[in-house]
Amino acid sequence: MRSILLALVLFCTMLGQAGAVVSPDEVLDDPALEARARALSANLRCMVCQNQSIDDSDAELARDLRVLVRERLVAGDTDEQVINYLTARYGEFVLLRPQFNSRNLILWGTPVLVLLVGGAFAFTAYRKLSGKRSVEQLSPEEEAALQKVLDSQE
């Protein structure tokens, strides 16, 4: 199963150099800015790779994107501006976390929906069962009759 994953990762490493990812010459001097760059990179896709972020990929393109992200940050962009800039250039494909919008409603809504519907279903099933139980319980007349029988036994 993993063979395909490995093969594709391999494809990626072949495009770039095998080995380490972010190289020291890319690292920004300002640690706060660099931390933001790393956090952003983890959410951006290396588009020639299979499901790898540009932070994890050795491919040439990933490197270019990492440098681009850092350039934008140095130029004073906010995180959101960087994301918007890249999305405008490369499309939504570059985002590893799809946008939170109405088009992606199915994606973001499914967990909530399943949880709610499942919970509601469990609740109604419980209500139905406990409702049945009350039907199965003895009526006061039956209770009295039973008590009579029990009393007569003593």
Q: Which residues between 53 and 92 bind another protein (CB under 8 A)?
A: 53, 56, 58, 91-92
Q: Is 102 in the site for another protein (CB under 8 A)?
A: no
Least distance to another protein, CB of residue 81, Å: 18
The C-alpha atoms of residue 124 and residue 87 are separated, in whole angstroms, by: 45
Contacts of 23 (CB under 8 A, 6+ apart): 63
* Residue among 59, 65, 58, 60 nearest 95 (CA): 65
Least distance to another protein, CB of residue 1, Å: 5
Q: Which residues between 7 and 46 bind another protein (CB under 8 A)?
A: 7-10, 13-14, 17-25, 27, 42-43, 45
DSSP notation for 48-73: TSSS-BTTT--SHHHHHHHHHHHHHH
Distances (CA, A) of 26 to 20, 55, 85, 107: 12, 12, 20, 35
Among 28, 48, 50, 85, binds another protein (CB under 8 A): 50
Residues that bind another protein (CB under 8 A): 1-10, 13-14, 17-25, 27, 42-43, 45, 50-53, 56, 58, 91-98, 104, 106-108, 110-111, 114-115, 118-119, 122, 126, 129-130, 133
